[in-house]
Amino acid sequence: MRAFAEDVHGNATYSEIQKRLISEQEIAPRINFKMPSQRVKENIGEVSISVNLNTISNQIIHLPFTISGTTNLNDYHLRKSTIDIPAGVKNYTFSCQIIDDDLYEHEETIVLTMTQPDNAQSDCPYYFNH
């Protein structure tokens, strides 16, 4: 619905109803990794990965991501491929366990790529090397 009215000078303006509808719509927050990449040693144990929202949401944000890179499943353990960020939270941290083995390996990369979240917008990958 679009309703127009005129101000005292004859200029067309949105009606108060339209203004209220626009102000009540929540714009989905943007979500990004706090740091675009990290470099860690294999014996670090766990790596903390933080995501930030540009604004607090009143809804739970379901953030799925894919995992790729030059490493294999024997080198890390990530509990889930989706994190749930509670409503009212602007910063959220989760962890990835790096598995230390006795094998000599060249530097390896794990890439987490956010896919389309529910109740937020995202467009950036995250890299960490070990």
Residue 116: which domain range? 30-129
Q: What is the CATH number of the domain that holds 44?
A: 2.60.40.2030
Q: Indicate whether 16 belongs to any domain.
A: no
Q: How far apart are CA 78 and CA 64, in angstroms?
A: 13
Answer whether residue 13 is part of any domain: no
For residue range 52-100, list pLDDT tens digits in order. Answer: 999 988 899 999 988 888 887 788 888 778 999 999 999 999 988 888 8
Residue 6 in this model has a pLDDT that exceeds 60? no
| Position 7 pLDDT exceeds 70 | no
94 in a domain, yes or no?
Answer: yes
pLDDT band, residue 103 (cuts 50/70/90): confident
Q: What is the pLDDT averaged over residues 33-37?
A: 83
Q: Token digits for 66? A: 């894919």
Task: Quote the pLDDT of residue 9.
Answer: 55
Quote the pTM value: 0.69
Residue 70 lies in a domain: yes
Q: How many domains does the chain have?
A: 1
Which DSSP helix (H) or strand (E) runs through 20? helix 16-24
